[in-house]
Homo-oligomer: A and B are copies of this chain.
């Protein structure tokens, strides 16, 4: 027999879906200046939704770029406060020709809602708002204090919210943050992500000769900026992926045995991962570690791109004067980004070939995050999740980074419940992004139950 929360959500399904569709029709692409008007419309839409579910002090906060949206409801004295975060901006839809239906005309197929932003993050963020509406409809009040902080720059680096949080600690004060921008480990498995890798992202520029030289006349005597960069970069990792920066592994904390054991119980097929996801002939990486451990709990170094010299069609016999690469290192607990940057700087200095110069520019740096699974909010979230999906909640990590989670920890001193309802194959940032409609409704119910039980 359904309880009032389930009943209300089921009764409201058509309306919730209509509202979500309206939200998804706004092409709020944060990286394209020509969509600035859509960004503002999306922010206004969010503000309107917050108001409609009883949030107070709703404001659209101008920033240097795209506005933040804030709203709160603080009438549950003695109860904890939950800071709900999400983002209303989306990735560009290119390549358009690969979409089966238009990216900004949400379309239902086989129980999935196809649209840019359906899973990342409009659909998931919308669950928070609808959970609040549900609780108020059922109880006439809310079981906890609630604050919403929604941004429009998540897909372009999130600079404005990163500035806003440390300047508004009192306003944003809460006991826990709630973020729905992740996925279930697999369909039907209640999943709480309790670890995110940190990231140091850099650009290395190498300069050799003063200008491009003719390789016939100078080849064999003049330094080559592309080759020098290649030589240095090739030494950053051993053939099996062990990072060669001195001291890099010194502070790496290994996950507890219990956590490692729980990962082993997750359904994971290396063969499927290799064939369906990676699409290669072989997996790579540090020997002695499972794939999950390598991507979740080991530091890794990647070169994301490199460019220099002549790359057009045909032949040009040039010795390049300049070359650039993007290089990042993913961090795990307890690595210190500043120490890692210093080690990288030293490494580059040591391995710069004769006749060349290297310049390192740090574009961003943030530490890894781990959330204590014994924190009351996490314990309640795990229990609620289990009850809703009918099987034990698994604790996972993600190899990726969500910088705002680090900012909440650092400036507000609070952990984040990462309770996402996406699926691994949702196609975030890709054509035909989708969100499972059942997960959307179950998500609303689960979040409502979580807030109810957390307040109890």
Contacts and interface: CB of A to CB of B under 8 A. Distances in A.
A354 interface: yes
Interface residues of A, number: 80
Contacts of A326: 309-311, 315-316
Contact of A294 (B220, B230, B233, B237): B220
A223 interface: yes
A199 B284 contact: no
Contacts of A323: 306
A160 to B, nearest CB: 15
A54 interface: no
A221 B306 contact: no
Which of A220, A231, A300, A319 has most B Cβ within 10 Å? Answer: A220
Contacts of A307: 306-308, 311
Interface stretch (A17-25, A114-122, A124-132, A397-405): A397-405
A220 B208 contact: no
A217 B218 CA distance: 43
A124 B129 CA distance: 79
A211 B279 contact: yes
Contact of A298 (B211, B220, B300, B399): B220
B284 A355 contact: yes
A214 B317 CA distance: 34
Contacts of A256: none
Contacts of A364: 315
Nearest to A319: B302
Interface string A197-217: 101010000001111011111
A317 B400 CA distance: 9
Interface in A225-249: 226-227, 230-231, 233-235, 237, 239, 241
B209 A306 contact: no
Nearest to A241: B220
B286 A220 contact: yes
A157 B241 CA distance: 41
Contacts of A319: 302, 304
Interface string A395-426: 00011110000000000000000000000000
A371 interface: no
Nearest to A228: B284
A215 B280 contact: no
B211 A353 contact: no
A303 interface: yes
Given A216-B330, A295-B219, A311-B324, A231 B234 contact: yes
Contacts of A374: none
Contacts of A442: none
A306 B309 contact: yes
Contacts of A309: 303-306, 326
Given A233-B230, A302-B215, A355 B220 contact: no
Contacts of A294: 220-221
Interface in A156-194: 157
Nearest to A305: B309
A398 B317 CA distance: 14
Contacts of A280: 208-210, 222-223, 355-356
19 contacts: A216-B398, A217-B398, A220-B298, A220-B399, A221-B273, A221-B278, A222-B280, A223-B278, A223-B284, A230-B230, A280-B356, A283-B355, A302-B317, A304-B315, A304-B320, A306-B309, A307-B307, A314-B363, A315-B363
Given A222-B280, A304-B310, A305-B311, 10 more contacts: A199-B317, A214-B400, A220-B294, A220-B295, A220-B330, A221-B294, A223-B284, A226-B304, A309-B326, A316-B326
